[in-house]
Chains A and B, each alone.
Chain A
Amino acid sequence: MRDSRNVLYGSLLLLPAAVLLWIFTYQPILTTLYHSFFSTAKGKRAAVFIGVDNYARMIDDPVFWQALSNNVVYALVTIPVSMALALAMALFVNGRMAGQGIVRMAYFTPTVLPMVAVANIWLFFYAPSHGPIDQFLGLFGLGHNNLLGTPNTALWALIVITIWKEAGFFMIFYLAALQQISPTLIEAARLEGATALQVFRRLTVPLIMPTTLFVMVNALIGAFRLVDHVIALTKGGPDNSTTLLLFYLYEVGFQYWDTGYAATLTVFLLVVLAVVALFQFGYLDKKVHYR
C-alpha cells in the first residue's frame, strides 16, 4: 500500500526532472553515438551510414591529436598549480591577519567574473610591446614577446588565465575543509612539540584529503569544459597551438557544420569524462563517504 503510494508520488515528482534530463543529457548521449556513424547531410545529399569512417578520420586527423595533447598539458599544469595555490590561499586567509576579508575577496573575485570578460582584460596584459607583461619583461631586455601569438607561449598564456580564475574558487573548498579541523587537535599537537610544518603534513594534509580529491575531479571536468578564453583570445591559433578538445568540437560543429564528425569528437570527449567518472565512483567515493 505504502509502496504503491511512494511509486505514484515519487514518479510524479520526478517526472519534470526526468523529462528534462532525458531530452538534454541521456538522449543526446545516445544520438551522439548514433550520429557518429553517419556522414554529414549537405544540401540535397542526406546523411548516410558510413560505419567507423569518422573514427578512422579522427585517428588520421593531426588537429585532433594536437588538441588532445594540448588538453592534456593544459590539465596537467592548471590542475596541480591552481590546487596548490588554492591551498596556500586558504591557509593564508584561515589565519588571523590584517585585512583578512579584503585578501580573501581579492582571491575570490576572478571566480565570479565571466571568462570572456576576463579574457578581454588579459588580452591587453599580453599585448606585445605596450602590454604590462611585455613592458615588465622589457625592463630585463626580454621585450617584444607576442605571448598569445607564439606557439610556444600561447597555451601557457591561457593556462595562466585559467589558474588565475580557478584558484580562488578552489580556495573556498579548502577554506571550508580547514575550518572543519578542530583547533584543539592542532593545539594538542603543538603542545607535544610538533613544528608548524609537521602539523601541516601529518594533520592538515590527511584531514583535507577528501577535499583535495573532490576539487581535483571538479578541476578535471573544468579542464575539458571551459574554452571561452580560447574563443575570445586565440581561436585555437597560432597553428592550433591553443586548440583544446571542446574548442575543436565547437569549430567542427559550428564553423564547418560537419555534424557527423563533431558527433565522433563528442563521443571521444564522453569517453574521457566517463573515465573521470569511473575514477570518482570507484576510487574517490570510498574516501569521501565517511563525511
Chain B
Amino acid sequence: MLFNKRSALRLTAISLSYLALSATTALAETKIDFYYPVQVGGPVTKVIDGYVEKFMAANPDIAVAPIYAGNYNDTTTKALTAAKAGTPPTVAVLLATDVFTLIDEDVIEPVGSFATSAEDKAWIDGFMPAYLKSAQTDGQLWSVPFQRSTAVLYYNKQAFKDAGLDGEKYPTTWEEMVAAGKAVTAKDANGQVTRWGVGIAGNVGSAQWLFGALSAQNSAKLVNDEGTETYLTDLKVVEALQFWVDLSTKDGIHPPGIFEWGTAPADFLAGRVAMIWHTTGNLTNLRKNATFEFGVAPFPGHPTPASVLGGGNLYIFKDASDEQKAAAFKLIKFLTSDEILADWAVQTGYVAPRDDSWKTETLKTYMVEAPQALVALEQIPDSVPEFSTHENARTTKILNDALAAALTGNKTPAEALGDAQAEIDKVLKPYR
C-alpha cells in the first residue's frame, strides 16, 4: 500500500477543503465583516441573516459575514478594539452619537465620499433630513441612518376618560400636559398618590435623551453641530429643566426623584402612571400587554412641539481595501433600500428613515394594523438629533449627573447645568 488509511483520509479532507475554498473564492472575490447590535427583543439575528443572504444572492461576488456583537456598547467596543488591532469590520451598525468618537479614533471613512454618481446622490437625498443631520459634520456625511427610533408620548385613554377628559385629545403644549396630568393624578383616602400624571425617565442613559426633546420644545439647542460646544447655561435650557423639576415639586403630577426608563412601561401598563415619554420601539410591547385603551401622541411644545431622534447608523471603516469598501457601500445601499427598511420597521418597531419606505405596501399594510406608528412619522420633521459631542461618553455622563442632581433636589437647575457646563468645557477644550 502506498499510504495507510488515515493519511489517505487526511489527504481527501485537505483536497476537499481546498476545493471548497477555491469554490467560494471563485464566486466571492470580496469578503467583508458586518458587525451589528441587537437592542430590542425578537429574533433580530435571523432577520439580519436573511437580509445578508438576499444581498449575497444578488451579488455573488461579495461574501458578507454578519456578526452579532451584543448591545450597542459591546458593538462599539468590539469594532474599536478590532480597528486598533488592525482587523476592523468593513461595515457596522453603531450609535449615531458615536460619530465624533469614531472620527477622533480615525477609524471611519465618510459614507458620503462613496456616493459619487447622480443615482447615489439621489439615494442620499431620499433620507429624512432630520436623521441625516446627526451623521453630518465637517461638511461630510459620515454614516447613513438605519435602525432609527424616536420618542413619543404614550397616554392612557381610559384614565383620561375617567378624569372627565376627552380620550382622543392629547396635550399639545406643556400647559396642556400639566393640566391633563393634574386631572388624571389620583390619590387614595390617605392622600397617597395611586396614579401619577406623567413620567419622564431621568436615570443615567435616558435623561439626556429626553431632555434633548424638552430643550428643543423650548426652542433651545444643547450642542453645536461640530460637537465642540454645549449650551447648558442658556436660559431656555435651564427653563426646560426647571419645567421638568416642577412637574414633581410644584405640580405634583410626576413621581418624585428619578423615574426609571426600565420600569416605565410596567408602570404605564399597571396604570400607575397615565402618560409616559418613551421610545417608539415600545409600541409592540404595549399593544400586546395593555389591558386598557391607550394612545400614542407626538410630544408637546412650548410652544414648538419637538421630539428627539435615537438609534443606530451604518458606518464604513477605513482600514480595508477599495474593493471591500465598495462592497460595503453596496451592502449599505441594499440595507437602506425602501423595501428592506420597511420590513425592518415592521419586524422590530424601528422607524424607517426614508419617506419612500413609508409608501411601500409593507408599511402601508402595517399602518392599517397599527395606526399609532404613524405618529412617529409625522413627528420626525420636528425632531432633533440626540446629544452628541467629542468624548461623548464622558460629556453625556456629566449632563446626566446634572439632570439627576436637579431632579433629586440636590442642586437648582441653574446650578446643576452651570457646573456641568464648566466640566464639559474642560473636557471639550482640546477639540475647539
Q: Within the complex, are A and B direct neighbours (CB within 8 Å)?
A: yes
Q: Which residues of A contact B (CB under 8 A)?
A: 42-44, 127-130, 138, 141, 143-144, 146, 149-151, 234-240, 251, 254-258
5 contacts between A and B (CB under 8 A): A144-B193, A149-B260, A236-B204, A239-B405, A255-B397
Is the Cβ of A237 less than 8 Å from the Cβ of B106? no
Q: A138-B192, A146-B256 are in contact. Are A238 and B397 (CB under 8 A)?
A: no
What 1/0 mask marks residues of chain B from 388 to 404 whose CB sits below 8 Å from any chain A CB? 00010110010011101
In this complex, what residue of A is CB-closest to B270? Answer: A130
Interface check B120, CB cutoff 8 A = no
Chain A residues, Cβ within 8 Å of B393: 255-257
CB within 8 Å of A: which of B366-408?
Answer: 391, 393-394, 397, 400-402, 404-405, 407-408
Instruction: Summarize A's interface: helix, strand, loop or mixed.
Output: loop
Instruction: Summarize B's interface: helix, strand, loop or mixed.
Output: loop
CB within 8 Å of A: which of B71-93?
Answer: 73, 77, 80
Is the Cβ of B106 less than 8 Å from the Cβ of A44? yes
Is the Cβ of A151 less than 8 Å from the Cβ of B394? no
In this complex, what residue of B is CB-closest to A240? Answer: B401
Q: A141-B192, A149-B408 are in contact. Are A237 and B257 (CB under 8 A)?
A: no
* Number of B interface residues in the complex (CB < 8 A): 36
A47–B104 Cα gap in the complex (Å)? Answer: 14
Chain B residues, Cβ within 8 Å of A144: 192-193, 255-256
- Which of B402, B408, B410 is packed against the most chain A CB atoms within 10 Å? B408
Chain B residues, Cβ within 8 Å of A143: 192
Is the Cβ of A237 less than 8 Å from the Cβ of B192? no
Q: Distance (Å) between the CB of A151 and the closest chain B CB? A: 5
Counted as pairs of residues, one from A and one from B, with CB atoms less than 8 Å apart, the total is: 84
Q: Which residues of B contact A (CB under 8 A)?
A: 73, 77, 80, 104-107, 190, 192-193, 202-205, 255-260, 263, 267, 270, 272, 391, 393-394, 397, 400-402, 404-405, 407-408, 410
Is the Cβ of A238 less than 8 Å from the Cβ of B257? yes
Which of B80, B193, B408 sits near A150, CB closer than 8 Å? B408
A144–B185 Cα gap in the complex (Å)? Answer: 14
Which of A128, A254, A255 sits near B255, CB closer than 8 Å? A128
Is the Cβ of A149 less than 8 Å from the Cβ of B105? no
Chain B residues, Cβ within 8 Å of A240: 401
A149–B259 Cα gap in the complex (Å)? Answer: 7
Is the Cβ of A239 less than 8 Å from the Cβ of B408? yes
A55–B83 Cα gap in the complex (Å)? Answer: 30
Chain A residues, Cβ within 8 Å of B204: 234-238
Which of B105, B205, B404 sits near A239, CB closer than 8 Å? B404
Q: Distance (Å) between the CB of A129 and the closest chain B CB? A: 5
Is the Cβ of A146 less than 8 Å from the Cβ of B255? yes
Chain A residues, Cβ within 8 Å of B193: 144
Chain A residues, Cβ within 8 Å of B405: 151, 238-239
Is the Cβ of B258 less than 8 Å from the Cβ of A237? yes
Beyond known contacts A141-B192, A237-B258, A255-B397: 7 more, CB 8 A cutoff = A43-B106, A144-B193, A144-B255, A150-B256, A234-B204, A237-B204, A239-B401
Q: A43-B106, A138-B192 are in contact. Are A238 and B407 (CB under 8 A)?
A: yes
In this complex, what residue of B is CB-closest to A43? Answer: B106
Q: A43-B104, A130-B272, A239-B404 are in contact. Are A146 and B257 (CB under 8 A)?
A: yes
A129–B186 Cα gap in the complex (Å)? Answer: 14
Chain A residues, Cβ within 8 Å of B256: 144, 146, 150
Is the Cβ of B272 less than 8 Å from the Cβ of A238? no
Chain A residues, Cβ within 8 Å of B80: 257
Q: Distance (Å) between the CB of B14 and the closest chain A CB? A: 36
Chain A residues, Cβ within 8 Å of B106: 43-44
Is the Cβ of B401 less than 8 Å from the Cβ of A237? yes
Is the Cβ of A238 less than 8 Å from the Cβ of B270? no
